[in-house]
Amino acid sequence: MEKINLNDKFKLITDYWSPACIGELNGQAVKIAKFKGTFPMHHHENEDELFFVIKGQCFLELENKTIELNEGEMYIVPKGIDHRPYAKEEAHVVMFEPNDTLNTGNLDNEYTQKDVKKI
């Protein structure tokens, strides 16, 4: 294992809402993605999902509130909770979740990535 430079890894990502795995530990994946625009509302039946903003700002729309995340802030969406991430401008986000977590949770649509690339 070598050290990971997040800035270098984010430079390798060209598409929004297209997560890439940068590391794994104890059955968990550390993924990064660039957010811009709105992702579909979804939930994960059995997995909590952590969002940690490295650059920019993003929002997590939940059923009864919206969470604003700025650089250096994170939020954990509990399993089973509907959420819709969105970003008005490009945001760089780290996600931490079980290895087999599907990015669109209970949905299968044009955003679904069944084989997350490793970078």
Mean pLDDT, range 23-36, rounded to an integer: 94
Residue 111 in this model has a pLDDT that exceeds 90: no
| CB-based contact 98:45 (threshold 8 Å) | no
Mean pLDDT, range 6-29, rounded to an integer: 93
Q: Where are the domains of the chain?
A: 6-98
**Looking at the DSSP assignment, which residues form a beta bridge with residue 111?**
none
Residue 104 in this model has a pLDDT that exceeds 60: no
User: What gap in Å lies between CA 29 and CA 102, rounded to an integer?
Assistant: 11
Mean pLDDT, range 39-45, rounded to an integer: 87
Residue 61 in this model has a pLDDT that exceeds 90: yes
- Residues 6-98, CATH architecture: Sandwich (2.60)
Has this prediction a pTM greater than 0.85?
yes
| CB-based contact 54:6 (threshold 8 Å) | yes
| CB-based contact 6:71 (threshold 8 Å) | no
